[in-house]
Amino acid sequence: MSTTSLQIEVPKLTDLSVSKARERLSESGLTLGEVTYHEDKEKEEGVVLTQEPEPGFLLNQDQPAHLTVVRRSYLQYLPAIYHQEDISGGNLLKDFLQIFQHIFSGLEDKIDEVHTCLNPYQAPLDFLPWLASWVDLVLDQTWTEEKKRSLISIAVQLYEWRGTVKGLKRFLDCFGGIDVEIKEWVWPTGLIIGVHSTAGIDANLMDDADSAHCFIVEWEPEWRPIWEYTSIEERKIECERRNNLIRRSRALIDFQKPAHTRCYFKIKIPVEERPNLFPMVIEVHSAIGSDCFIG
């Protein structure tokens, strides 16, 4: 079954600079193809003289647009005596300079486009790690190109929000890929006889803390039930992936939270995946919260 590419109307590019024409094409969802040069003494140097296809033409998204750009010979920078043509109507010096102009044109084009290297959405892919270093950001090689560009563009804004609930939630979403709820000025419930007294179920055995400097990060992962993985090897790989994600998320929280605060990272495991807990029996069921409870 054949598929038809999306067709996009070609915008008007004539009289624009090459960089502006490239931006206009990019905004339209098209790409720039071959660029040829033509000498024209009446037009401004560097502007688009003609385009192919013409404006208004419906072009497939995977097909490039081609441009003819005005260029003037290096001969214009030499005294008038060198502009004279020979008896055949040609100019040897002009033809000779054309060789160097062709070589240097690529460098000139790069210089004209150097400002795009400072734009996260226009910079070349190989330039992104260096651009990220400007905002103290280390790119993860597992990220997609789109994600890398997006994170570089919002890095400064994330620094402004650092240490806030909004900043921590956005940071975990962008870098950890998890959506969390944050509760401030609270700490997990300790052991209270007759109220919260079943350790491993509704009570936690840990040091008391000043709730004024504490908060809880709650995350409810959307994981497939582990039994849906058919082989033992797949289950091991999935468990390792989950553990790595948990460790990474915890590290991100510690990196972003204010230094004087304490954070409890609470992971809401689906009921069907929670382990069956039994009353504590030494050497049989003795890991509180994992396979046993007290109370």
What is the residue extent of each domain of the chain? 7-118, 161-293
Token readout for 272 is: 């069907």
pLDDT band at 197 (very low <50, low <70, confident <90, very high): very low
> What pLDDT score was predicted for residue 207?
64
For the segment 228-286, what is each residue's pLDDT rounded down to a tens digit? 888 889 989 998 999 999 999 999 999 999 999 999 998 887 666 655 655 666 765 65
> What pLDDT score was predicted for residue 4?
61
> What pLDDT score was predicted for residue 135?
93
pLDDT of 192 strictly over 60: no
Mean pLDDT highest for which of 43-52, 194-203, 285-294? 43-52
pLDDT band at 40 (very low <50, low <70, confident <90, very high): confident
* Share of residues in the chain with pLDDT > 70 (%): 83
Count other Cβ atoms within 10 Å, centred on residue 196: 16
pLDDT of 1 strictly over 60: no
Q: What is the mean pLDDT of residues 190-203?
A: 52
List the CATH code of the domain at 7-118: 3.30.10.20
Token readout for 220 is: 């409810």
Output the DSSP codes for the chain.
Answer: ---PPPEEEPPP-TTSBHHHHHHHHHHHT--EEEEEEE--SSSPTTBEEEEESPTT-EEETTS-EEEEEE---GGGGS-GGGG---TTS--HHHHHHHHHHHHHHHHHHHHHTGGGGGSTTTS-GGGHHHHHHTTT-PPPTTS-HHHHHHHHHHHHHHHHTTTSHHHHHHHIIIII---EEEEES------BTTTB--BTTTB--S----GGGEEEEEE---PPPGGGS-SHHHHHHHHHHHHHHHHHHHHHHHHHS-TT-EEEEEE---GGGSPPPEE-BTTTB-SBTTTEEB-
**Chain centroid to CA 160: how far?**
19
What's the residue count for the chain?
A: 295
Please state, in angstroms and rounded to a whole number, the distance separating the CA atoms of residues 252 and 164. 14
For the segment 96-141, what is each residue's pLDDT rounded down to a tens digit? 998 898 888 778 777 877 888 899 998 989 999 999 999 999 898 8
Token readout for 122 is: 């226009």
Token readout for 161 is: 């929000």
More confidently predicted of 201 and 221 = 221
More confidently predicted of 222 and 153 = 153
> What pLDDT score was predicted for residue 88?
87
Mean pLDDT for the chain? 84
> What pLDDT score was predicted for residue 224?
84
pTM for the full model? 0.62
Give the β-pairing of 65-70 and 32-38. parallel
Residues paired with residue 48 on neighbouring β-strands, in sequence order: 69
Residue position matching structure tokens 């997990």: 188
Residues paired with residue 293 on neighbouring β-strands, in sequence order: 279
Please state, in angstroms and rounded to a whole number, the distance separating the CA atoms of residues 34 and 178. 43
pLDDT of 158 strictly over 70: yes
> What pLDDT score was predicted for residue 131?
95
> Per mean pLDDT, which range of 15-19, 63-67, 144-148, 189-193 is the poorest?
189-193
